[in-house]
Structure 1
Amino acid sequence: MKLNRLADLYADPGPFASAYVEVSREQEDGDRLAELQARAARDALVEQGAPEPLAQQVADRLAASTHEGGTVSRCVVASERGVLLDALTHRHHAQPTVAYDVLPDVTAWLADESLLVPHVLVLVDHEGGRVTTFGSDPAHPDREADLRKADPNEHKFKGGGWGHLRYQHNTENVWYHRAEEVATELRQQLQDGPDLVVLAGDPQSRPKLLEALGEVQATVVQVDGGSRSADGGDEALQAAVLDVLREQVVARGVADLHELRDRLGQGTRVATGLSEVVPALVRGQVDRLYLDPDAAAEHDLSVDAYPGLTLGAVTSTGELRADRALVAAACLTDADVVVARTSRLVGTPVAAVLRWDQSAVGDTA
């Protein structure tokens, strides 16, 4: 997971008021509950030393309507210069996370954000299809194209014989042409987008689309649902898509951890523990950072012990909470972040796959 969305945070000198709170309004008294959550976050920030106007600014943003249904949690980070991050996840976050500190606290939000899988959802039928790219925000697509066109002659032709066969042939041609249009749009959305396609809709139309699509550098997973005759409607389709995304999270997480273990076995281009990973971050050497946020939060990182460690516009000495400092350093050095658990990180809260092997550089110097 790239941290590009967080770049503006570290261009601000702070200090920061951070809150990650569930603000769902699906219950009957949802508005009141969201307001109570926002008020509790404000009080906690003030208790930690945040100026009251800053704490109130965070509370106001938390209490504002998200215009989203279902389960919604909101991450807000602000400084005296205003709100710097306002992000939603469709995840249950029962325990609010609130902090006033020299660095933003976004690790709990990142843990939920890492469960998102960018994908392209394609719904097809004989009228064409709808192609939608979902990136980091499942509620707001990055791109959407509706290519469905109703056939005015459909269901109007009566009779049989050669005339009916000729009509049927022409209709098939129209359907294949529309499948080609959908395939063209899908290829365009895949160019700079996700590498996962979830294909749903009419079971008879899906093979036509796949034939028109040809070979693409993407994984295509078909699911039932999305057709007019499908049981369960939109809810069934959403459940089917969510099952696919969960499977992808597991598969990709396993692949990431396999890479780390392979590197550990080879003893090359790998770092484990704060004492190895932080110097690698200082050198801009980390390609992928594996982080257990909860375990890392139990450690302090001394800025003075790592000359050259920069945290953007934040100027700080002394001890910082390790999880917050590691996220900042990863963002500023363009490192990918994989959220994992210590049990899978060979007993350490942080590990890294490196862009180059430092010992090899030393040998050639």
Structure 2
Amino acid sequence: MANRPAVENEKATRDIRNEQFHDWASLWRRQERSSVVHVEAAALFDGSGQDAETRRQSIQDSLAAEGAPDEDRAVIDRILSEPTGVGGPCSRFVVVTDGEPVVNEVLAGPMASAEIVSHTKVPNLLPLLVDRGNDALYLVVEAGRDGGEIHAFRARHSAALRSEDVQGRTDSLNKVQAGGWAHSRYQHHSEEIWKQNQNQLADAVDALVRELRPRLIVLAGDLRAVQLLVEELAPASREIASTVATHVRAAGSSRGALNDHVASKLDELRAKDETAAIDRLSAGDFENGAVGVGAVIHSLQQGQVETILLDLDALGDRPLFALASEPWVASAPEEALGAKVLESVPAALALARAGLVADSRLLFVESGRLPERAGVAAVLRWPTGPAVPGTARWTPRP
């Protein structure tokens, strides 16, 4: 029972992420052609230099060559000309259908994939999905003697989803330096005020944990205030809390240590998810999973896939066929099971699309981690075969 809060938090985070992906799955169910642009944001918007208009015109020319309509191109040019509002390197990811922007995202950090300028029936959302794949929700709590601040973030997002400022009592916060009986009495009084303030802050943190189900809480600020806060947190909050020794609320303080700590903890969560999925996949000699393109496509056709694990490097440029309806993907037109073939697309795109529209979870793994060095594998909702050779195959009840 000790791990139950962590399990519930992980499940709730997956649910929240799947809600976020719902609109993208709906886009993939459409059959209209969409215009997609994924480019570095530098030198794109007005005011960044004389080359901005030239760069945007080049993108317009490429879209025209792809067959994108004028209304799509006009909307994309308008979006690309706007400042991102994000410091440091970033990229724009825009999808427009029939002149309406359906995706408009700024992805923080250097581009990790090739540029996309296309007009197709199956928009390439892979860079967006990879960027949001480890989109864990977490809280940053900055504790001080007078209360503190709470900020809710998603990984890879620079802006806070929610922020709360908890103001406690400020009288007698500074412990007096007088000696004797008065010193002891005022020391105790100040300590009680600190504790009351951190109790208020802890209540606010616990409330957000119940509402948002974050996977991580990072605590920073005044050392004694953080110590008191930890003591006041509910067990479910304390279990996912991590402390970094930096007083971010002090004047002139740097947030570098806090940001590094958050990044490290998010990497740990991603690695934990990856390892857990691969362990489940490998249990019982792959009775709980499918390994390889053919096996995963067959499992998708059976509606059996809970999680798809994709190694983009291993899949490479191999093509598959995207279908207009279930089972959404096929390795050849004659295997489409009666569904209309939309177009041939890279295997990673076809498999990710088929998984997402079928309500499967997507997990992008590091190169070489999957069994048999496969490019794709799937954790199944029920086993594929018997636990003991010679026994009947198990199937779910209707």
Partner of 2:380: 354
Indicate if the aligned counterparts of 2:36 and 2:94 stay in contact, CA closer than 8 A. Answer: yes
2:209 to 183, 186, 190: 190
Q: CA deviation at 1:15?
A: 0.8
Q: CA deviation at 1:271?
A: 1.0
Aligned-partner SS, 1:7: helix
Partner of 2:279: 258
1:108-127 aligned at under 5 Å gives the runs 108-127=127-146
Query: Relative to structure 1, is the Cα distance of residues 356 and 272 closer, same or farther in structure 2, using a 3 angstrom cutoff?
Result: same
Matched, 1:325 2:325: no
Partner of 1:199: 219
Counterpart of 2:220, as a letter, is A
**Distance of 1:234 and 1:25 partners within structure 2:** 28
1:176 to 195, 218, 227: 195
1:75 to 74, 86, 93: 93
**Distance of 2:269 and 2:26 partners within structure 1:** 30
Query: Relative to structure 1, is the Cα distance of residues 228 and 164 closer, same or farther in structure 2, using a 3 angstrom cutoff?
Result: same
Partner of 1:105: 124
**Distance of 2:351 and 2:52 partners within structure 1:** 31
Query: Relative to structure 1, is the Cα distance of residues 72 and 143 closer, same or farther in structure 2, using a 3 angstrom cutoff?
Result: same
Tell me the TM-score normalized by structure 1: 0.85
**Distance of 1:295 and 1:120 partners within structure 2:** 35
Query: Relative to structure 1, is the Cα distance of residues 364 and 68 closer, same or farther in structure 2, using a 3 angstrom cutoff?
Result: closer
**Distance of 2:248 and 2:148 partners within structure 1:** 11
Give a deviation string over 1:76-113, Cα, whole Å, max 9, x none.
Answer: 11111511111222120174222221111011222232
Give a deviation string over 1:125-158, Cα, whole Å, max 9, x none.
Answer: 2111111211256222222211134614445967
Matched, 1:87 2:105: yes
Query: Relative to structure 1, is the Cα distance of residues 317 and 238 closer, same or farther in structure 2, using a 3 angstrom cutoff?
Result: closer
Q: CA deviation at 1:63?
A: 2.5
**Distance of 2:302 and 2:154 partners within structure 1:** 30
Partner of 1:212: 232
1:37-48 aligned at under 5 Å gives the runs 37-48=55-66
Indicate if the aligned counterparts of 2:29 and 2:357 stay in contact, CA closer than 8 A. Answer: no
Aligned-partner SS, 1:343: coil
2:79 to 41, 46, 61: 61
Query: Percent sequence identity over matched residues?
Result: 25
**Distance of 2:313 and 2:61 partners within structure 1:** 24
Indicate if the aligned counterparts of 2:37 and 2:93 stay in contact, CA closer than 8 A. Answer: yes
Matched, 1:344 2:364: no
**Distance of 1:147 and 1:118 partners within structure 2:** 21
Q: Which moved more, 1:55-64 or 1:170-179?
A: 55-64
Matched, 1:131 2:150: yes
1:7-22 aligned at under 5 Å gives the runs 7-22=25-40
Indicate if the aligned counterparts of 1:118 and 1:196 stay in contact, CA closer than 8 A. Answer: yes
Query: Relative to structure 1, is the Cα distance of residues 226 and 16 closer, same or farther in structure 2, using a 3 angstrom cutoff?
Result: farther
Q: CA deviation at 1:294?
A: 4.7
Counterpart of 1:240, as a letter, is H
1:274 to 293, 307, 312: 293
Q: CA deviation at 1:199?
A: 1.2
Tell me the TM-score normalized by structure 2: 0.79
Q: CA deviation at 1:208?
A: 0.7
Indicate if the aligned counterparts of 1:123 and 1:130 stay in contact, CA closer than 8 A. Answer: yes
Query: Relative to structure 1, is the Cα distance of residues 225 and 32 closer, same or farther in structure 2, using a 3 angstrom cutoff?
Result: farther
Indicate if the aligned counterparts of 1:223 and 1:241 stay in contact, CA closer than 8 A. Answer: no
Matched, 1:248 2:269: yes
Counterpart of 1:255, as a letter, is A
Counterpart of 1:51, as a letter, is P
Tell me the C-alpha RMSD between the 2 structures.
3.3
Counterpart of 2:204, as a letter, is E
Partner of 2:4: none
Counterpart of 1:324, as a letter, is L
Q: Which moved more, 1:43-52 or 1:146-155?
A: 146-155
Indicate if the aligned counterparts of 1:13 and 1:315 stay in contact, CA closer than 8 A. Answer: no
Aligned-partner SS, 1:255: helix
**Distance of 1:174 and 1:279 partners within structure 2:** 63
Which ranges in structure 1 are unaligned for 5 or more consecutive residues? none
**Distance of 1:232 and 1:176 partners within structure 2:** 24
Indicate if the aligned counterparts of 1:125 and 1:201 stay in contact, CA closer than 8 A. Answer: yes
Which ranges in structure 2 are unaligned for 5 or more consecutive residues? 1-16, 330-338, 386-392
Give a deviation string over 1:54-89, Cα, whole Å, max 9, x none.
Answer: 133223222322222222222111111511111222
Count of matched residue pairs: 360
Counterpart of 1:102, as a letter, is K
Query: Relative to structure 1, is the Cα distance of residues 138 and 148 closer, same or farther in structure 2, using a 3 angstrom cutoff?
Result: farther
Q: Which moved more, 1:314-323 or 1:212-221?
A: 314-323
Query: Relative to structure 1, is the Cα distance of residues 81 and 206 closer, same or farther in structure 2, using a 3 angstrom cutoff?
Result: same
Q: CA deviation at 1:308?
A: 3.4
